[in-house]
Amino acid sequence: MPRYALLLEYNGRPFSGWQRQAEHPSVQGALEAALARVQPEPAAVAAAGRTDAGVHATGQVAQADMIRAWDPFRLGEALNHHLRPNPVAVLAVAQVADGWHARFSAVERRYTYRILCRRAPPVLDHAVWHVRRRLDPEAMAEGARHLVGRHDFTTFRSTECQSASPVKTVDEVRVEAREVPYGLEIAVHVRARSFLHNQVRSFVGTLERVGADAWPPARVAVALAAADRAACGPVAPPGGLCLTGVRYPHDPFAA
């Protein structure tokens, strides 16, 4: 059965997350329903990362095994037709080797979390965390430096996390800020091979405390060393988080 890699973009607001659920809408469920319209046999799909409820993606990667060979462009067009009106789009399709896997072949995942600091609520852009006070991005960047490297991230993972180990290597936590009309937008970019459940949102919620001058930047290092979930700041809401990219040894969409 030919295997295809699918590059996906989606708005996570109406979904209970990536993973298929019997009684709630999911991104996986929407994609599998679209696949069922283009071939008679069900096609199970797997993704590079299982995003949580309300989390968005501009660079999610999934795989699907088809009964027959498809022209990648035509498969993408057919899936986009049948995905409507779900807020999910197939950006690119590529045929890959049978042993290639969207999750296990990945060597890096990238997330961006956006915070909008202004009094007025966002109306057109809902993929942000609206914070009504101005945060200090320089203090947040100082605190973020403590999160880079190989550490026990028990403090920054959900109590429901199923990972076998809390030890992960985080390659980058970068804070960017830009002035916007009547406010400030802060983006926190995080890059690693793999993540614990709620790890990025836990990072951002903690860094927000630093930016609000409720924590000194050095307290991030203290929280990390505690290896205790109680030492974490509040977990940031899901709506500001976006999976922006997945890297493989060889980019399946390069052609």
Q: How confident is the model at residue 1 (pLDDT cuts 50, 70, 90)?
A: confident
Statement to judge: residues 96 and 120 lie in one domain: no
Give, for 141, the enclosing helix (H) or strand (E): helix 137-144
In a domain, 252, yes or no: no
In a domain, 251, yes or no: no
pLDDT digits (tens, 9 = 90+) for 28-62: 999 999 999 999 887 779 999 999 999 999 999 99
Span 96-120, average pLDDT: 97
- The domain boundary, picked from 105, 137, 165, lies at 105
Instruction: Indicate if the pLDDT at residue 207 is higher than 80.
Output: yes
Instruction: Tell me which residues are annotated as active site.
Output: 52
In a domain, 147, yes or no: yes
Statement to judge: residues 78 and 135 lie in one domain: no
In a domain, 250, yes or no: no
In a domain, 183, yes or no: yes
Statement to judge: residues 95 and 176 lie in one domain: no
Here the CATH number for the domain that contains residue 133 is 3.30.70.660
Statement to judge: residues 95 and 195 lie in one domain: no
pLDDT of residue 141: 98
In a domain, 219, yes or no: yes
Statement to judge: residues 88 and 44 lie in one domain: yes
Q: How confident is the model at residue 92 (pLDDT cuts 50, 70, 90)?
A: very high
Look at residues 94, 82, 71 and name the one whose alpha carbon lies nearest to residue 29. Answer: 82
pLDDT of residue 42: 78
Domain carrying residue 85: 3-105
Statement to judge: residues 100 and 219 lie in one domain: no
In a domain, 255, yes or no: no
Q: Considering its fold, how many domains does the chain have in total?
A: 2
pLDDT of residue 21: 85
pLDDT digits (tens, 9 = 90+) for 163-200: 999 999 999 999 999 999 999 999 999 999 999 999 99
- The domain boundary, picked from 47, 76, 105, lies at 105
Phi, psi of 243 (to 5 degrees): -80, 110
pLDDT of residue 40: 84
Long-range contacts of 84-87 (CB under 8 A, 24+ apart): 86/10, 86/14, 86/30, 87/10, 87/11, 87/13, 87/14
pLDDT of residue 83: 97
Instruction: Indicate if the pLDDT at residue 255 is higher than 80.
Output: no
Statement to judge: residues 66 and 148 lie in one domain: no
Number of H helices, E strands in the chain: 5, 10
pLDDT of residue 23: 86
Query: What is the Cα–Cα distance from 28 to 42, expressed in whole angstroms?
Result: 13
Statement to judge: residues 221 and 132 lie in one domain: yes
pLDDT digits (tens, 9 = 90+) for 218-237: 999 999 999 999 999 999 99
Statement to judge: residues 120 and 221 lie in one domain: yes
Statement to judge: residues 162 and 75 lie in one domain: no
pLDDT of residue 99: 93
Q: How confident is the model at residue 130 (pLDDT cuts 50, 70, 90)?
A: very high
- The domain boundary, picked from 105, 135, 165, lies at 105
Mean model confidence pLDDT for the chain? 96
Is the bond into 85 cis (omega within 30 degrees of 0)?
yes
Q: How confident is the model at residue 208 (pLDDT cuts 50, 70, 90)?
A: very high
Quick one: tokens of 15? 């979904």
Instruction: Indicate if the pLDDT at residue 66 is higher than 90.
Output: yes
Q: For residue 242, list its beta bridge partners.
A: 56, 112
pLDDT of residue 162: 85
Neighbouring C-alpha atoms within 13 Å toward the C-beta of 243: 32
Statement to judge: residues 118 and 220 lie in one domain: yes
pLDDT of residue 63: 97
In a domain, 57, yes or no: yes
Span 155-164, average pLDDT: 92
Here the CATH number for the domain that contains residue 32 is 3.30.70.580
Statement to judge: residues 118 and 101 lie in one domain: no
pLDDT of residue 252: 96
